[in-house]
Structure 1
Amino acid sequence: MQRLILVDKSVIIRKVAKRILSDLGYLVSEADDAEAAMAICKGRLPAIMIVDASLPGATDLIADIRKIPGGDDVKIYYCLVEGKLKHMMQGKRAGADDFLLKPFDRDILTKVFSNPSKTAA
């Protein structure tokens, strides 16, 4: 079972996404801020991270994950409300691999994460 960390300040977003992603076969951890996410990652890096772009320190978190030994192997999704090029470039420069648009639902998460072995970095 692949480990996935969902980093979002919204309890509702984390709860819904955790349920969907758990149903898809992921072992999901949650963090409501960058500090909590980093603490989890220092204990054991996940295969996948979903980081909310509106989270304070989101790009710093991504850059810091990349600096951890093995951090380059984590597939990081930068989660945006709008697909604005400026924000996408900020995420990409920090080290994000891909993007997700919010609000997401079961169909979107299933399409992106339905085969855990294909999403592994």
Structure 2
Amino acid sequence: MLPPIYTWLKASNAVKAIIGNTPRAYRPGDAPQDVTQPYVTWALVAGVPDNQLSSTPPSDRYTVQVDCWHTTDKGVEDLAKAVRNAIEPNAHLTAIPVNNRDPETKLYRIALQFDVLQTR
């Protein structure tokens, strides 16, 4: 029912080269307290069915935000590029709403928002 973000990331050699063969990609609240860096978090921002009067919805539209976390500025840019290349064959990049350094963790962060159309 949800977009297979983890599956798309796991299929990418470029992503796995940065965040591990079992990619460190977590849904909200699932990243361990002392997670190994770099890593990715992803969350569903919005989701709506493509409603029709004559039948059940044939597809659902989702907005997903994928946050890339790294200890270096160049590292987070490389990770964001790899994530983008892994997901874009299946979704449309619509925004890059965050590009900063977290003041608490000191990790660099780039957030990517994608729109996904998923048939049911």
Q: Does TM, scored on the shorter chain, surpass 0.5?
A: no
Q: Which has the higher helix share?
A: 1
